[in-house]
Amino acid sequence: MKDQELIALADKARAMAYAPYSNYRVGAALLTGSGKVYTGVNVENASYGLAICAERTAAVKAVSAGEREFVAIAVVTDNGGSPCGACRQVLAEFGPKLRIILADSAGKSREYSMSELLPDS
């Protein structure tokens, strides 16, 4: 799967983000070792601290479907924002060699390795 396809899937998923409190909508598309893609969005709550990020939504969907190897993840936001520390830790569990592709809503993207985002894990 091409990076642009993964970004497009993340962007499409982003439409389902539930972010009425922050208005910061996030979509993720996670490619696993089996070749399947699992999408995720951020899901907020009236109790603000309970918000779940798009990356962890995708990760738990994949693992609960039996996946154990994360290959690449595309994350789309308005400004190309980077995953939070909690998501980095969860992604590293199943993707020590994960490629992380961050894109903004204009289509501009950049890539990091897991070890760049979470060194010495």
Residue 32's H or E segment, with its range, is strand 27-32
Handedness of CA 32, 30, 56, 13 (dihedral sign): negative
Strands 70-77 and 27-32: antiparallel
Does the annotation mark 55 as catalytic? yes
Q: Segment contacting ligand THU (CB under 6 A): 5-13, 17-25, 60-68, 89-97? A: 17-25
54 binds ligand THU (CB under 6 A): yes
Tokens at residue 61, please?
């969907």
* Active-site entry in 5, 44, 55, 67: 55
Backbone angles phi, psi at 12, to 5 degrees: -65, -45
Determine, following the binding rule CB under 6 A, whether residue 83 of this chain makes contact with ligand THU.
yes
Q: What positions carry a catalytic annotation?
A: 55
Contact positions vs ligand THU (CB under 6 A): 19, 22, 24, 26, 42, 44, 51, 53-55, 81, 83-84, 87
